[in-house]
Chains A and B, each alone.
Chain A
Amino acid sequence: MSATTMPRAARPAAGERSGGPTFGRVVAAEWTKLTSLRSPWWTALVTVVVAGAISYMSATASSVDPGFEPTHDLSTGLMLAQLGPLVLGVLYGAGEFRTGAFRTTFTLVPRRWPVLAAQAVVLTAFTLVLGVVTVAVCVAGVVPAAASRDMPLRLTEGETPGVMLGMVVLLLGMALLGLAFGALLRRTVPALVTALVVLVFLPVTLMMMSDPGTDANGMALPHSVTPAGAISVFTPGTGITLLTTSASSEGMPGTPDVGPVGGGLVVGAWVVLLLVVAGVRLRARDAR
């Protein structure tokens, strides 16, 4: 019997054999989960193609205008393409719960919140690459229109670098807000509907409410802040919209002029708030 006991005693105990679920290994596992599915790649491809195609069409259509400036059409494609990262984030955040994989995941990582943090890290990395590629494709989409008018494409001058940075941050913000809604609500359809209402429909409604209107001659009133506009600037949807505006513009009618940096701070605050609430729900409530 000593023959069998010897090797078993020599083998290290399970706890010593590995360092347990370190954060790096949770991140590696989440990276595999995200990239081994086909849908994130399809979503990314659709996002890039839609953004590029729309900026090409929009720049080509407006290249006949006398005041045409090629860099102004860079971000036009994002109005539709921003849905891609949002859907990606919602599906990724809720996917764990939808498929039942969370039972395995939370058995291995009993403290649970490192999983959510790792998901945020992984999604940030994925979306940053996606955002850079999308901006590059948008620039490529504007080139033919600029060439047709023999206009130089001034990407490094004035506010254009800021707008391009804002485009990447916009895609990142949509993905992380989607992740937060998905992780918080845990079911795809409610999370998707909530995210769409808050991020797509609410800004439009608030924009209609906050418009100060026109004077008796039908001319726009001078810039003034309306109550609805003051509320709207603190909503994530309006923050997202502000990200790709140029810093020198007057802002949207009726809203305080906080510029793209202010919009980015609002979006960042909402991302942190919603992810923290999702983390608290993970810690305090049952996962079934």
Chain B
Amino acid sequence: MTTLTPRAAARPSRGAPARPGVTFPRVLAAEWTKLTSVVSNPWLALGTVVAAALTAYGLGLFVRADDGRSGSWVVVSGFLLAQIGFLVLGAGVGTSDHTTGTARVTFTAVPRRQPVLAAQVVVTTVAAAVTAALALGASYLATTGPRAGEAPALDPAVPGTLRVLVGFVVVGVAFALLGLGLGALLRRPADAIVTGIVLTFLLDFFLQGNPGRFTDTVRALLPSAGRRLLEDDAAVAVLDAATYGPQLGPWGGGAVLAAWVVLVLGAAAYRLARHDVR
């Protein structure tokens, strides 16, 4: 039996090669490939940019100097339509693994699962931020004509203008991450998109018609409160004066939205780690 020992040692070891397993950068690279190699995603980003610019141009045509709107409102008004693009982008990243069945391969390769969600967060953030920045630039260019005419000019001296412009990108990214969390949690694109639209737009729009202490408190606690980052200081003061619920100020709405994003992503991470993937 002693003769066998050197031969066994010489034989190359079986199983997985002795290099490090799936590292986070490699998961990240895989998720980036998944995002950019599907044709619908660049089209979605382009559609979001075009929708934002066209809406801003259209609304800019009909705004007058005595409406009490500022130039920053004109530039970011396209967010009304663009928000659905961010939501769908995130929901698509969160659900595509589950709808196509790629989840089986992905989670065999990354058995701890949560790095995949973390990588999806990074990828979605980058994609949404780039899309939002392009949409903001396109909206700025598209509203040049209206702002030179009757609509108010973009004046950096108006308090809150910089916050509004940066807020366009920040809220866009946050809505995309909310869509990602809902997608990873619910695993079906239709469910995630409808839930996201109800939470970020429709419920707020509906409750707006019935002001009262209860409805205004609910409105302040919905993710749609994050859109207050897109209002300049004067408009936020008007909102705070009109509400019967908590007065969030300029930053409170952003904090509510961030809490929703963390909560939903946390729930998605829990379901991913603890529950079955089929």
CB nearest to A197 among chain B residues: B84
Please name the residue on chain A nearest to B61 by beta carbon. A209
The dominant DSSP class at the B interface is helix
Q: Which of B20-28, B153-161, B164-172, B193-201 contacts A (4 or more CB under 8 A)?
A: B193-201
Does residue B55 face the partner (Cβ distance < 8 Å to A)? yes
Residues of B within 8 A of A54 (CB): 206
Q: A209-B58, A213-B67 are in contact. Are A189 and B92 (CB under 8 A)?
A: yes
* A80 with B206: CB separation less than 8 A: yes
Contact status B59-A205, CB under 8 Å: yes
Q: For B88, what are the chain A residues with a Cβ–Cβ distance below 8 Å?
A: 189, 193
The A-B contact count (CB < 8 A) is 75
Q: Chain A: interface secondary structure?
A: helix
Partner of A226, one of B62, B194, B197, B203: B62
Chain A: interface residue count, which band?
A: 20 to 34
Within 8 A of B (CB), among A170-227: 188-190, 192-193, 196-197, 200-201, 204-205, 208-211, 213, 216, 226
Q: How far is the CB of B188 from chain A (nearest CB, A)?
A: 9
Q: How large is the interface on B (under 10, 10 to 19, 20 to 34, 35 or more residues)?
A: 20 to 34
Judging by beta carbons under 8 Å apart, are A228 and B193 in contact?
Answer: no
Q: Which residue of A lies closest to B212 (CB)?
A: A61
| Residue A246 CB within 8 A of the other chain | no
In the complex, the answer to whether B81 meets A197 with C-beta atoms within 8 Å is yes
Cβ < 8 Å to A, chain B residues 210-232: 210, 212, 214-215
* Residue A235 at the chain B interface, CB threshold 8 Å: no
A193 surroundings in chain B (CB, below 8 A)? 84, 88, 193
Chain A residues with Cβ under 8 A from B55's Cβ? 205
Report the bound CA distance from A61 to B244 in whole Å: 14
Chain A residues engaging chain B, CB cutoff 8 angstroms: 54, 58, 61-62, 76, 79-80, 83, 87, 90-91, 188-190, 192-193, 196-197, 200-201, 204-205, 208-211, 213, 216, 226, 228
A-B contact pairs, 21 of them (CB 8 A): A79-B209, A87-B190, A188-B190, A189-B88, A192-B190, A192-B193, A193-B88, A196-B84, A196-B193, A196-B197, A197-B51, A197-B81, A204-B205, A205-B80, A205-B81, A208-B59, A209-B58, A210-B62, A213-B64, A216-B66, A226-B62
